[in-house]
């Protein structure tokens, strides 16, 4: 152990000493170029949001706002009912996420710890659901939701997408990897399954649950196709649908306003992402590598 550590250490020193300066420099340069290519569109959005309409349509186009203005933001806010969009997005995202997390925890607990004569069949049914993409169900689901009278309702946006297979498998895996002795000990102490689920399994599997919740949150917040189909009044639209209609109604006239409106969507997501980056990125990577 100590020996191999020593070897690694010497080699690290050796390589860093041997790596030509030029290569390191090229590495940093490539990294900088990548960040610029990815970041430039966002910079362009920000800069346009602070430009006057006159400046946006001036040739040559400017890189920095020559006479920075804040006017685009109130104008965008008033061009569409953004407070309503935010409310709708918050409700459908939190509602959808809560439903998915609850269903995933319940299903995963059942699959991991409970006996059932047809368990294999249940497992296969969930696996099969993974293979049926939401996109191909839109027409029949629209008919179902219309029959239920759920067009333009939160229930209509949330419930058809609430069932969860991927998250169930993710959590089942996490539950199965918990130390079995702890769960067994709780059982010996006389705790029932629901107690064990709430007081033992859920606290111990918290990182996996948080990751799953965050992935679900991002997906719900960005969902476009289904809310587009199931809403047809302005006051029920979510943010992604709202920005789409704002662009369509403002057309090619007022890019500054549209970019300001886009920032209403981009900024909160970026802030949240930077705070919980580790959970999301590691969660996605873990899901992929474990297969």
Per CB under 8 A, contacts with another protein among 221-260 are 221-222, 224-225, 228-229, 239-241, 243-244, 247, 252, 255, 258-259
Crossing angle (nearest 10°) for helices 166-176 and 206-222: 170
Region from 71-79, 109-117, 149-157, 201-209 binding another protein, contact rule CB under 8 A: 109-117
CB nearer another protein, residue 78 or residue 144: 144
**Part in contact with another protein (CB under 8 A); list of ranges 75-83, 111-119, 181-189, 203-211:** 111-119
Among all chains, which residue has been given the structure tokens 């706002």? 65
Residues 287 and 291: their CA atoms lie apart, in Å, by: 6
- Contact string 258-287 vs another protein (x = CB under 8 A): xx--x--xx--xx--xx--x--xx--xxx-
Q: Which is nearer to another protein, 205 or 265 (CB)?
A: 265
* Shortest distance in whole angstroms from residue 68 CB to another protein: 18
Cα–Cα distances (Å) from 33 to 43, 55, 274, in that order, read 14, 28, 21
Residue 68 vs 193, nearer CB to another protein: 193
By beta-carbon proximity to another protein, the closer residue of 106 and 185 is: 106
Interface with another protein (CB under 8 A), residue from 3, 136, 188, 275: 136
For the bound state, the minimum distance from the C-beta of residue 289 to another protein, rounded and expressed in Å, comes to 5
State the Cα torsion 79-84-89-91 to the nearest 10°.
Answer: 180
Residue 257 CB contacts under 8 Å (≥ 6 apart), including other chains: 72, 75, 76, 79, 246, 250
**Per-residue three-class SS string for 100-139:** HHHHHHHHHHHHHHCCCCCHHHHHHHHHHHHCCCHHHHHH
Q: How far, in Å, are 27, 51, 256, 257 from residue 62 at the CA level?
A: 30, 9, 13, 17
According to DSSP H, which parts of 2-80 are helical?
Answer: 2-18, 21-49, 53-56, 72-79
Stretch that binds another protein, among 72-80, 149-157, 161-169, 177-185 (CB under 8 A): 161-169
Pick 83 or 291: Cβ nearer another protein: 291
Provide the 8-state DSSP code for 62: P
- Touching another protein, residues 11-50 (CB under 8 A): 16, 24, 27-28, 30-31, 34-35, 37-42, 44-45, 48
**Could you give the CA distance from residue 172 to residue 143 in angstroms, rounded to a whole number?**
33
Shortest reach from residue 234's CB to another protein, in Å: 16
Q: Which of 72, 88, 96, 160 binds another protein (CB under 8 A)?
A: 160
Residues in 69-98 at the binding interface with another protein, rule: CB under 8 A = none
Q: Hey, which residues between 175 and 204 contact another protein (CB under 8 A)?
A: 193
């Amino acid at each position: 152990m100590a020996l191999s550590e020593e070897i690694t250490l010497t080699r690290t020193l050796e390589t860093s000493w041997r790596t030509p300066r030029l290569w390191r420099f090229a590495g940093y340069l490539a990294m900088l170029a990548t960040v610029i290519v990815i970041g430039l569109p966002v910079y362009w959005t920000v800069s346009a949001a602070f430009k006057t309409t006159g400046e946006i349509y001036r040739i040559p186009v400017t890189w920095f706002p020559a006479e920075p203005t804040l006017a685009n933001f109130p104008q965008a806010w008033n061009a569409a009912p953004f407070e309503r969009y935010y409310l709708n997005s918050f409700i459908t995202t939190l509602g959808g996420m809560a439903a998915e997390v609850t269903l995933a925890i319940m299903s995963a607990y059942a699959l991991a710890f409970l006996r059932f004569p047809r368990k294999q069949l249940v497992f296969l049914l969930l696996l099969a659901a993974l293979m049926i993409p939401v996109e191909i169900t839109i027409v029949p689901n629209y008919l179902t939701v219309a029959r239920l009278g759920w067009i333009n309702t939160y229930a209509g946006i949330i419930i058809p997408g609430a069932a969860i297979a991927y998250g169930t498998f993710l959590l089942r895996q996490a539950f199965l990897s918990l130390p079995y002795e702890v769960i067994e000990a709780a059982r010996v102490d006389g705790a029932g399954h629901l107690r064990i689920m709430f007081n033992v399994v859920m606290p111990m599997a918290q990182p996996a649950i948080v990751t799953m919740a965050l992935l679900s949150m991002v997906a719900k917040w960005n969902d476009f196709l289904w809310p587009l189909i199931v809403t047809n009044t302005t006051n029920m639209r979510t943010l992604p649908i709202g920005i789409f209609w704002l662009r369509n109604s403002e057309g090619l006239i007022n890019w500054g306003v549209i970019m300001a409106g886009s920032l209403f969507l981009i900024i909160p997501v970026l802030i949240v992402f930077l705070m919980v980056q580790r959970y999301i990125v590691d969660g996605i990577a873990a899901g992929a590598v474990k297969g």
